[in-house]
């Protein structure tokens, strides 16, 4: 697809939003605001990014929120001492106002038992990191495809033993076992029903498979969905190349400058609703 076709598709996508004045901004963290690292606890938000988000929060009248697979406690540690509106664990934990205490989702006994077994089973693999996040169990394999296949097979076997309904979400650097009701898109939808988000147009920026539901929901709400980095088919309508490009776009004095966004994919590669 040449540049003229890309620009034409971009202009077509943003034309209905040209008169929009009120926006709500939702942001993933890992791979969006910070680079992906093998150990999520090693990630850090630099001072300039914190200042940027503070400025955007003021500019948007508080209509900004973090929507992440991290726990809210982990989100708070990254942004300390600032408390932000946030949905943690894909929406299983929600803080709608910064002054509210951070809720903590409980780890079911079955997940605790599985985590203990996996610590034994995978303890001999230095490239595997198991992260217990309440009802969510995350296994990071770095970018080792052999380890990724190993833990994916283990997760598939484990599904039958888990009470309730769980699903596996696989990424390029690991897998997560999530309750079926854990979806970032539902968290965004719930935020959009309350002040100060209500009656605004949502923007969501994320980078991976767990963000696809949010892209889909934001599109259905007439908003702007932006995927970070290359990848396969996606619901996102636009793309930013990397974390640096995200920060540059958010820093634009004309934010949200829709004219600078590139469409993410040829329409034939878009996921079907």
**For tokens 């929600």, what's the residue?**
94
* Closest by CA position to 225, among listed 69, 233, 217: 217
Structure-block tokens of residue 271: 């996921």
* Active-site residue, 266 included: no
Catalytic residue among 2, 11, 22, 28: 28
d(CA 118, CA 124): 11
127, 100, 99, 132: which is closest to 115 by C-alpha?
A: 132
Segment holding 64, helix H or strand E: strand 64-67
**Side-by-side strand order, sheet with 238-240:** 93-95, 86-88, 64-67, 23-27, 201-206, 224-228, 238-240, 262-263
Cβ burial of 139 (10 Å; 0-12, 13-18, 19+) is buried
Closest C-alpha to 219, from 239, 204, 198:
204
Q: Which two tokens stand for residue 120?
A: 């034994």
The set of catalytic residues is 28
């Amino acid at each position: 697809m040449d540049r003229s076709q890309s620009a034409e598709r971009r202009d077509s996508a943003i034309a209905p939003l040209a008169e929009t004045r009120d926006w709500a901004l939702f942001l993933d963290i890992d791979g969006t605001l910070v680079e992906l690292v093998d150990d999520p606890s090693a990630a850090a938000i630099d001072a300039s990014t914190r200042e940027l988000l503070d400025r955007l929060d003021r500019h948007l009248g508080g209509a900004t929120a973090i929507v992440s697979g991290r726990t809210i406690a982990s989100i708070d540690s990254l942004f300390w001492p600032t408390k932000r509106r946030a949905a943690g664990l894909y929406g299983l934990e929600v803080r709608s106002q910064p002054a509210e205490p951070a809720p903590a989702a409980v780890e079911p006994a079955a997940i605790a038992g599985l985590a203990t077994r996996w610590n034994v089973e995978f303890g001999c693999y230095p490239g595997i990191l198991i992260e217990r996040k309440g009802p969510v169990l995350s296994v990071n394999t770095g970018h080792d495809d052999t380890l990724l296949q190993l833990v994916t097979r283990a997760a598939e076997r484990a599904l039958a033993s888990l009470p309730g309904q769980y699903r596996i979400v696989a990424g390029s650097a690991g897998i997560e076992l999530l309750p079926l009701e854990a979806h970032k898109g539902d968290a965004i939808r719930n935020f959009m029903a309350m002040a100060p988000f209500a009656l605004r147009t949502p923007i969501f920026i994320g980078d991976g498979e767990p963000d696809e539901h949010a892209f889909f929901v934001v599109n259905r709400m007439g908003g702007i969905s932006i995927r970070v980095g290359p990848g396969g088919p996606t619901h996102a309508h636009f793309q930013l190349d990397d974390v640096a490009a995200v920060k540059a776009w958010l820093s634009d004095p004309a934010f949200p400058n829709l004219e600078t966004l590139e469409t993410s994919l040829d329409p034939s590669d878009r996921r079907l609703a």
